[in-house]
Amino acid sequence: MKRILAAALSLALLVSLAACGGKDRFDAGKVEEGVCYQLTGIAPDAVAMRVDGIDVPMDMYFYNLCYAASYMESYMNMYGMDLDWSMELQEGETVLDVTKDSILENTKSFAVIEKLAQENNVIAQRAGDRTRGDCREPRRRGELPRRARQAGSE
């Protein structure tokens, strides 16, 4: 029952994000297959949000949403508690509030990492390939946290 409730909440969060974006604001996507599409009717390549100039597809947002909901359920169960999305964790913040914040922050972080990889000409390789991308500049310490803080989503 708890898993069904978590899945229903995940779906509600996903649909509410898509509804808030408006149809004219972002690309609706063209892919009509996969779990994201089957559960929601939303194309996985549809743009969920834009972070620092990077379009974040719905499948990435959906992944973060499902991960955060599953993590919160596991966390609550580890302490012998049932998952109650309305339970207050911190002053004025419920489990749902903390989970939504986590989803957005994780999604922003992935987008910032992607942007930094593009800027530094880092190319993802297949898992078995041990070669690295051509990094022309040395890594700048603290760059990712600074960019993550600065990144604003539209």
pLDDT at 77 over 60: yes
Q: Which of 154, 68, 80 is nearest to 111 (CA)?
A: 154
Highest mean pLDDT among 4-13, 19-28, 68-77, 141-150: 68-77
Structure tokens at 116: 């930094």
Give residue 141's pLDDT band: very low, low, confident or very high (50, 70, 90). Answer: low
pLDDT digits 0-9 by tens, 97-139: 999 999 999 999 988 988 888 888 887 665 555 444 444 444 5
- Mean pLDDT along residues 30-53: 84
pLDDT at 90: 81
- Distances from the Cα of 148 to the Cαs of 45, 101, 116, 139, in angstroms? 23, 14, 11, 16
pTM above 0.85? no
Structural contact between residues 95 and 73, judged by C-beta atoms closer than 8 angstroms:
no
pLDDT > 90? residue 86: yes
pLDDT > 90: percent of the chain: 16
